[in-house]
Amino acid sequence: MESADSFPVIVVSGLSGAGKSTVLKVFEDLRFFCVDGLPASMLAKLVELFKGKDENYRGLVLGMDLRQSDFVEEWQSTCAQLGSNGVCPSLIFLEARLPELVRRYATTRRPHPLESKKLGLEQALEEEKVLLEPLRSAADLIIDTTTYSIHDLRRRIQEKWSALTEGKSGLRVNVISFGFKHDVPTEADMVMDLRFLPNPYFDEKLRPLSGQDKAISDYVLGSETGSVFIEKYLDFLQYILPLYEAEGRYRLTIAVGCTGGRHRSVAVAERIFAILKKSGYSASLEHKHINLD
């Protein structure tokens, strides 16, 4: 485990109820050694124990949360200690919208780590969000699990983790297509409204298709408006992404949206993703609302 590439160390954290246990099971199935609830101060010791001694696992995955009261403070010092030993852990941050987290807690009937006589569930969730903001800001990958089933989350983790391990560039770019009528992704750093592009929805023959089909891509991006837009937007990204990277940014989420999230946004997201991969970026692609009405 002389480097993060030869034996990756991954920390999974985020809001309670957002799916950490499910993500740990996914990594376990991918043949990673997983530990939940480990104090941050013990991470460096655990990493040292694994150094070059176990070839049965692809890496080490730790689940960490506010069950450890000083987790955020200890995490920062632990990262510095690991960095001095040449190990750079990847941080995955899970979140979900407040109503969904409340619903999940109502279903499981488990108490929130911060819940008390003075702090109700919703207040505890809001407090946790504030406390974990430094972690969210430092995360390599942010995943909003609000609309995900367990199977959706499993698939997304497998896809996104593969993306994190590829690419020459240190900047990791997540591309998301979405529909404005379903809501804007909370994890987005940049949002592009594509509702000015030609809409295949109004063609009965094209309506059942999605932006992943060539006919839709040709309709949207083959038009005069579409072809000029995609050329200029890709030029803009090729200019601005190196500037983000030069400033030390290591994660950027680009969300492109149309009305329903099935045609225009999907076609544009597919094109952006293809160009980024060709340019050597570590990129992931997610169509958030492609299967919603």
Residue 179 annotated as binding? no
Structure tokens at 110: 């488990």
pLDDT digits (tens, 9 = 90+) for 199-257: 999 999 999 999 999 999 999 999 999 999 999 999 999 999 999 887 767 789 999 99
Residue 223 DSSP class = S
Q: Does one domain contain both 248 and 180?
A: yes
Q: Does one domain contain both 157 and 28?
A: yes
Q: Which amino acid is at 261?
A: G
Residue 65 annotated as binding? yes
Residue 18 annotated as binding? yes
Residue 15 annotated as binding? yes
3-state secondary structure of 287: strand
Instruction: Please check whether residue 25 lies inside any domain of the structure.
Output: yes
Q: Which amino acid is at 207?
A: R
Q: Does one domain contain both 124 and 268?
A: no
Q: Which residues contact 289 (CB under 8 A, 6 or more apart)?
A: 177, 178, 179, 182, 260, 261, 262
Last residue of a domain, one of 117, 137, 164: 164
Residue 67 annotated as binding? yes
Instruction: Please check whether residue 3 lies inside any domain of the structure.
Output: no
Instruction: Please check whether residue 293 lies inside any domain of the structure.
Output: no
Instruction: Please check whether residue 202 lies inside any domain of the structure.
Output: yes
Residue 19 annotated as binding? yes
Domain containing 187 equals 172-287
| CATH at residue 127 | 3.40.50.300
Is the whole model's pTM more than 0.75, yes or no? no
pLDDT digits (tens, 9 = 90+) for 155-183: 778 776 665 555 555 678 999 999 999 98
Q: Does one domain contain both 159 and 14?
A: yes
Question: CB of 30 within 8 A of CB of 161?
Answer: yes
pLDDT digits (tens, 9 = 90+) for 51-104: 655 667 888 898 887 666 677 777 778 887 787 777 888 889 999 999 999 998
Total domains in the chain come to: 2
Q: Does one domain contain both 155 and 259?
A: no
Considering only CA atoms, which of 190, 187, 170, 191 is closest in space to residue 246? 170
Q: Does one domain contain both 180 and 274?
A: yes
pLDDT attached to residue 1: 35
Instruction: Please check whether residue 4 lies inside any domain of the structure.
Output: no
Phi, psi of 73 (to 5 degrees): -65, -45
Last residue of a domain, one of 142, 164, 186: 164
Q: Does one domain contain both 146 and 246?
A: no
pLDDT attached to residue 4: 44
Last residue of a domain, one of 147, 164, 181: 164
Instruction: Please check whether residue 254 lies inside any domain of the structure.
Output: yes
Phi, psi of 33 (to 5 degrees): -85, 120
Higher pLDDT among residues 139 and 155, named by residue = 139
Instruction: Please check whether residue 264 lies inside any domain of the structure.
Output: yes
Q: Which amino acid is at 110?
A: R
Q: Does one domain contain both 157 and 178?
A: no
Instruction: Please check whether residue 241 lies inside any domain of the structure.
Output: yes
Residue 66 annotated as binding? yes
Residue 284 annotated as binding? no
